[in-house]
């Protein structure tokens, strides 16, 4: 982390007027903070953050390409283990219920439209955390876990059967036989003990249709049926992987989801 007099921030906001207003407010309320970039979509957030290594991210929750949460997840998985993760401030129009969750999360938030009074409180909190030298990597894990619980859930019954195309046939796969799902481009690989089949959907849409109590996301592109997890293995560098019943390969667990396998 850089010194307090040389802090750098990146703004991610797809509405140009709001992005400009936030930048102006930050320059007025925290003149020492350097705004190094302003981007308008989730993919650019990931690319610019990995390239420029800011100390603070102001992330709009809803952006084209990737949401602020999805961008944070991807950054957490790609971020070097030996570097502190940026502090995050979510810029949000969430309702009061969601805001209450942010009050106890490991990041701050500002509501649209952004007021100087609220932004001033956020700046004070950020400065305190920087002075305390908080473990931002652990904080990020807590944050993502909490925000995942805030995501809207489907009101329909979870899927009981997966319909997957195999050549010119449609294979019916009982959901309880699926060991894990793995995203690949515009498709998802459905893996069972004896087969692999592709379905054309996004992981985001699939997560809305399956039972989250049975299927755990363990990586940005991987969701595993926890009933098939035999053990979690930590290597010398601290990285986790899963050994599964019925499969020989190991599944990597990103640090965002490592909390799922902490000792009870």
Domains of the chain: 4-150 (3.40.50.2300), 161-261 (2.40.50.1020)
Q: What are phi and psi of 131, to 5 degrees?
A: -70, -35
**Residue 58, pLDDT score:** 95
Q: What is the pTM of this model?
A: 0.72
Exposure of 108 by Cβ count < 10 A (0-12 exposed, 13-18 middle, 19+ buried)? buried
Is residue 215 within 8 A of residue 223, CB to CB? The reply is yes
Alpha helices in 112-179 (DSSP H): 116-132, 136-150
As given in the structure block, the two tokens for residue 116 are: 């100087």
Residue pair 80/24 in contact (Cβ under 8 Å)? The answer is no
Round to the nearest angstrom and report the end-to-end CA distance of the chain.
Answer: 32
Write down the pLDDT at residue 78: 85
Tell me the C-alpha distance between 63 and 120, whole Å: 24
Burial class (CB in 10 A: 0-12, 13-18, 19+), 164: buried
What residues of the chain score a pLDDT lower than 50?
A: 1, 97, 264
Q: Are 197 and 171 a contacting pair, CB within 8 Å?
A: yes
CA atoms within 13 A on the CB side of 88: 33
Predicted pLDDT of residue 172: 95
To 5 degrees, how large is the angle CA 160–CA 254–CA 206? 25
- Rounded CA separation 186/201 (Å): 6
């Amino acid at each position: 982390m850089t010194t307090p007099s040389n802090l750098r921030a990146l703004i991610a906001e797809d509405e140009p007027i709001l992005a400009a207003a936030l930048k102006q407010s930050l320059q007025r309320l925290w003149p020492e903070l350097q705004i190094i970039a302003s981007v308008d979509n989730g993919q650019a957030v990931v690319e610019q953050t990995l390239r420029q290594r800011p100390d603070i991210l102001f992330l709009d929750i809803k952006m084209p390409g990737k949401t602020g949460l999805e961008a944070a997840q991807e950054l957490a998985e790609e971020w070097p283990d030996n570097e502190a993760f940026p502090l995050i401030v979510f810029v949000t129009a969430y309702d009061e219920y969601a805001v209450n969750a942010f009050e106890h999360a490991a990041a701050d938030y500002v509501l649209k439209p952004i007021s100087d009074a609220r932004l001033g409180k956020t700046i004070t909190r950020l400065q305190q955390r920087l002075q305390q030298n908080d473990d931002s990597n652990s904080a990020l894990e807590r944050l993502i876990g909490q925000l995942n619980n805030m995501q809207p859930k489907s009101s329909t019954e979870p899927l009981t059967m997966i319909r997957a195309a195999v050549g010119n046939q449609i294979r019916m796969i009982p959901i309880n036989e699926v060991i894990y799902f793995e995203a690949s481009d515009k498709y998802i690989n459905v893996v069972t003990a004896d087969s692999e089949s592709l379905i054309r959907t996004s992981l985001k849409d699939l997560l809305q249709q399956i039972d989250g109590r049975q299927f755990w996301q363990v990586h940005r592109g991987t969701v595993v049926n926890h009933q098939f997890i035999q053990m979690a293995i930590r290597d010398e560098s601290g990285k986790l992987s899963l050994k599964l019943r019925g499969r020989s390969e190991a599944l990597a667990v990103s640090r965002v989801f490592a909390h799922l396998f902490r000792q009870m």
